[in-house]
Structure 1
């Protein structure tokens, strides 16, 4: 099934602990990558983990390695697309439109943000 969340979308984390408790709920960020095989997305500034990188040498001879903080994937059900007009999380729908190009009509599915509610 095609994911409703695409690379570059602005999303908000809608589940998990609140930011006061050290979580990421309510935080917004851009989608860096979509992992369709595991239904996960990587969101900028969300779900940081520490990663230990083995020391190696680059082409110029400098040593690289140590402890890095990187974003880890989060499940797609825990994020919602942000409506550009209200800046609140919303559901995404698809609309079928006819597009005329060079005298030919083509049917295209277009994504749109549904009306954002108070509870979502």
Structure 2
């Protein structure tokens, strides 16, 4: 089970963008990498082409590159600092049936994420 999910607010804990915060745009599970908004920006050269309307496309774009999942940490909503993530098992009742569910918990404050 992934501890970092799409849409989480994370802080970079190592690398050239150390200390920056941003939302997770994409999680690449097979390579254990995440794409974070505003972090690890690289320039990409796009070949010139034409769209259907006749406008030219291409040039130099800046995009977010993926970084390893171990270099980011989930931000706790209360303290606004990075925190480790754990799981708590709870039983939820739905339609008269009990179901066991794992809930992500911030280890620093003990609150649900």
Report if TM-score (shorter chain) is over 0.5.
yes
Q: CA deviation at 1:44?
A: 0.3
Query: Among 29, 34, 52, which residue is 2:22 paired with?
Result: 29
Query: Among 92, 97, 100, which residue is 2:93 paired with?
Result: 100
Q: CA deviation at 1:58?
A: 1.2
Which residue in 2 is equivalent to 1:63?
56
Distance 2:54 2:98 in 1: 58
TM-score normalised per structure 1: 0.88
Q: CA deviation at 1:59?
A: 1.8
1:13 aligns with 2:9: no
Distance 1:53 1:101 in 2: 51
Report runs of 4+ in structure 1 exceeding 3 Å deviation. none
1:52 aligns with 2:51: no
TM-score normalised per structure 2: 0.93
State the aligned residue count: 109
Distance 1:31 1:59 in 2: 32
Question: Could you report, residue by residue, the CA deviation over 1:6-51 in whole angstroms, capped at 9, with x for unpaired residues?
Answer: 00000000012xxxxxx21011000000000100000000000000
